Amino acid sequence: MSIKILHNVVGIGKSSMGLGQVALNLAKAQHELGYQAKIWCHGDAADVQWAGESTGINRSQIPLFPSVSALNFTFSKAMFDSAKSNVEGFHVVHQHGIWTGCSLVTNALRRRHRMPVLI
């Protein structure tokens, strides 16, 4: 059985100021080691394309979630609902960054599914 790892980060594009690059490189390396690693983030198709081109990560590892932003807070109800159901069966979540809309998603995974969390 392969461990399923979720990297939860606000963004992965150039505007992530390097935070997204860390998640991309970790997920790519974990995938190469045989783990099932995905990245959940707020972004658009251009961010995913840039991520694929700059790191070589498989784009299927980065599902897109529609989101809304207010001031500096971005939230995705679709991402939150996916966390509540955990249909992909993640074993661990690694949150990159704190005090973001992603924190709500991480907390849903932790509380509902007793999932270990790395921040």
pLDDT band for position 10 (cuts 50, 70, 90)? confident
Contact in structure between 10 and 101 (CB atoms under 8 Å): yes
- Bridge partners (DSSP) of residue 92 are 5
pLDDT digit string, tens, across residues 48-103: 898 889 899 988 999 988 888 876 788 889 999 999 888 789 999 999 988 788 88
CATH code for the domain of 75: 3.40.50.2000
What is the domain count for the chain? 1
Q: Which domain holds residue 11?
A: 4-118
Q: What is the pLDDT of residue 33?
A: 95
The mean predicted confidence, pLDDT, of the chain is 89
Q: Is 3 helix (H, G, I), strand (E, B) or coil?
A: coil
- Predicted pLDDT at 66: 85
CA distances from 13 to 4, 17, 48 (A): 23, 8, 7
In this prediction, residue 23 has a pLDDT band, given cuts at 50, 70 and 90, of very high
